[in-house]
Amino acid sequence: MKNYKIDTLCVQAGYEPSSGESRIPPIAQSTTFFYPKTKEMADLFDLKSEGYFYSRLANPTVAAFEGKVAALEGGVCAIGCASGMSATSLAIFTVAGAGDNIVSSSAIYGGTYNLFSTTLPKLGIECRFFNPDAPADEIEKLIDGKTRMIFTETVANPAIVVLDFDKIADIAKKHGVLFAVDNTLATPVLCRPKEWGAHLVIHSSSKYLDGHAAALGGVIVDLGVFDFKDNPRYASFNEPDESYHGLVYADLPVAFGTKCRAQMMRDFGAIMSPQNGFISYIGSDTLALRMERHSQNAAKVAAYLKKHPKIEWINHPSLPDNKYYALAKKYMPDGQGGMMSFGIKGDVNKCAAFMEALKLITQETHVADVRSCVLHPASTTHRQLSDEDLKNAGVPKNLVRLSVGIENADDIIADLKQALEKV
Ligand code: PLP
C-alpha cells in the first residue's frame, strides 16, 4: 500500500481480505484465539511468529485500524489504545520511569497537561514545560541527561498554536531525544510529522480519525526513524528485558513499537476494544474528504468572525495575519483544519450567553467530529488550571473553542450570527 496517495490509503489501507472473506474488517469480538499446537502458542509468546493470542495485546479488528493509521503516518507499527490519554501515557512509560523527565510544550490539550503536571510527578517522572514560541536555546536548557522525550502537538488544543517542527526536530536531533507529536487535530491528511523530523506520533482517534464522535480511542505510531541502539538515554532499550526472556528491544527492527506493546500494553492493558477498532476503521475511510471540508468551512467561518464587531480576537491559521499563518502554510499547506478559538468582547458571562444562544452548533466536551460544536475551556476542560497555568497554556478566560463541522458553511455562519446578535 506504500505508494498510494493519502486519500487512497484512508479508504484501502490496513485490511486486505482473502478470497471469500468479508470486504470490511469483521469484528473479532473475542478475548482469545485458538491454537491446536502448544509450539504455535509458544512462538507467539516469544515473538518468534506473528498472530493473535489474547486481545489485551493484539486483536485482528484493532490491527486493521492500526495498519491503516501506520500507513497514513508512514510508520512501521501502530498500537491501538483505549483512548488518546492512554496512548500518551503508554508512550511515555515506554521510555521513562521514576527519576526521568520529559520536556513538553505548555500549549497542549488540558487532559494531557494534567497528566504531565500532576500525575506523572507522583510516579517520579518530572515534566518541564516550555512555551512553544520560545527560542530554541531556551527550550534546550530544559534538556538534561535524564530527558527521555520531547512532547508537542501539531495544532495545540485549544490554543491553536501550530508547531514549529524544524525548531524542535533540530533540538531532538542534537540531543538524541525522542521527538513525539500529538497529531490529533492536524491528522496525517493535513500534516505528516515524519516528513518534518518527528520520531513518534500519538493520536486521540476519538477525534477526526473516527470523525463521528462514536468511538473513544488512541493510537501510538512508531515512525521507525529513531535509533535507540547504544543511546545512553535509553538503557531500558539496550539492556535485556528479564520480563520478556531477555529481549533487547534496541536490537529489533521495531524497537519502540515492540517494547510498547510487549511490555506496556501487557502490563497496563489499555488496549482499544474490537468494536471501537471497527468503528474507527470505517470512520477513517472518509478522513481525507472530511479534512478538506472541515478546513474549507473553518476558513470561511474564520473570515466571517474576523470582521465581526463583537469578536475581540480570532485564532485560525488560515487567516493571513494569524501568528501561525507562515508555519501552517509550511507544515499544513492543504488545509488548516476545523479547530479555531476566539474571544468574545466583554466579561466571561458573555461567552455563556453566546453559547446558549446557538441553535445548530452544540456545546460539547468534544471536538473534531462531523458536527460543529463549541466549548468554553476555562470553565470546563481547563477549570482545574490556575490563572497562571491558563496563561501558560495559551487559554485566556474569554476563549471560546469552535470545532467547525462539515455542515454547509452558510448554515454555520448564520447560527453564529444570530447567537452573537443575542450577546
Ligand atoms: N490529544 C488531543 C489533542 C486531544 O484533543 C485529546 C482529547 O480531546 C486527547 C489527546 C485525549 O484523547 P482522549 O479523549 O481520546 O483520551
Domains 6-283 and 287-420 share a fold: no
What's the gap in Å between 88 CA and the centre of ligand 1? 9
Instruction: Please give the pLDDT value at position 322.
Output: 98
How far is residue 47's CA from residue 6's CA, in Å, rounded to a whole number?
Answer: 31
Domain ranges of the chain: 6-283, 287-420
Q: For residue 415, how far is the Cα from the chain centroid?
A: 29
Of 92, 284, 327, 80, the closest CA to residue 196 belongs to 327
- pTM as predicted: 0.96
Classify 103 as helix, strand or coil.
strand
Please give the Cα distance from 272 to 65 (Å, whole number): 10
291 Cα–ligand 1 center, Å: 18
Cβ neighbours around 159 below 10 Å, total:
25
Q: State the distance from the centre of ligand 1 to the C-alpha of 114, rounded, in angstroms.
A: 12
pLDDT tens, residue by residue, 216-250? 999 999 999 999 999 999 999 999 999 988 999 99
Q: Which atom of ligand 1 is nearest to the CA of 366?
A: 8
- One-letter amino acid at 413 equals I
Amino acid identity, residue 228?
A: F
Q: Supply the residue whose CA is at minimum distance from atom 13 of ligand 1.
A: 84
The pLDDT value given to residue 3:
85
Q: How far is the CA of 331 from the centre of ligand 1 (A)?
A: 21
Q: Using one digit for the tens of pLDDT, what is the confidence trace for 377-418?
A: 877 777 777 878 877 766 788 899 999 999 999 999 999 999
Residue matched to cell numbers 516469544? 46
Q: Which of 191, 174, 195 is nearest to 183 (CA)?
A: 191
CA-nearest residue, atom 11 of ligand 1: 84
Query: For the CA atoms of 386, 391, 393, 394, what is the dihedral angle to 10 degrees?
Result: 140
Pocket test for ligand 1, best of 112, 151, 183, 220 (most atoms within 8 A of CB): 112
Strands 311-315 and 339-344: antiparallel
Tell me the residue length of the chain. 423
Helix, strand, coil abundance in the chain, percent, nearest 5: 40, 15, 45
> Cα(204) to centroid of ligand 1, in Å?
5
CA of 75 to the centre of ligand 1 (A): 20
Say which amino acid occupies 354: F
**C-alpha distances out from residue 58 to 118, 272, 286, 406, Å:** 30, 9, 25, 33
pLDDT reported for residue 1: 67
> How many whole angstroms from 19 Cα to the centroid of ligand 1?
38
85 alpha carbon to ligand 1 midpoint, in Å? Answer: 6
Ligand 1 shell residues, CB under 6 Å:
83-85, 109, 111-112, 153, 157, 182, 184-185, 204, 206-207, 216, 218
> Do residues 205 and 84 make contact, with C-beta atoms less than 8 angstroms apart?
yes
Does residue 236 contact residue 263 with C-beta atoms inside 8 Å? Answer: no
Cell numbers at 365, concatenated: 466536551
Can you tell me which atom of ligand 1 is nearest the CA of 184?
3
Architecture of domain 6-283: 3-Layer(aba) Sandwich (3.40)
Helix 287-306 to helix 409-421 angle (10° resolution) is 40
Beta bridge partners of 341: 315, 401
Best residue among 106, 109, 402 to mutate for probing ligand 1's pocket (most ligand atoms within 8 Å of CB) is 109
Q: Nearest CA to 129 among 148, 145, 115, 113?
A: 113
What is the chain's Cα-based Rg? 22
Please, which residues have CB within 8 angstroms of residue 75's CB and are 6 or more apart in sequence?
Answer: 69, 194, 201, 221, 222, 223, 224
DSSP character string of 113-165:
HHIIIIIHHHTT-EEEEE-TTS-HHHHHTT--TTEEEEEEESB-TTT-PBP-H
- Spans of the chain, pLDDT less than 50: none
DSSP 8-state symbol, 65? H
pLDDT at position 8, please? 98
- Spell out the CATH class of 287-420: alpha beta
- Separation between Cα atoms, residue 19 and residue 38, nearest integer Å: 28
Minimal-distance CA residue to ligand 1 atom 2: 109
Sheet holding 362-363, edge to edge: 311-315, 339-344, 399-403, 373-375, 362-363
Residues in Cβ contact with 257 at an 8 Å cutoff, skipping those fewer than 6 apart = 76, 77, 78, 79, 220, 222
How many angstroms separate the CA atoms of 393 and 382, rounded? Answer: 9
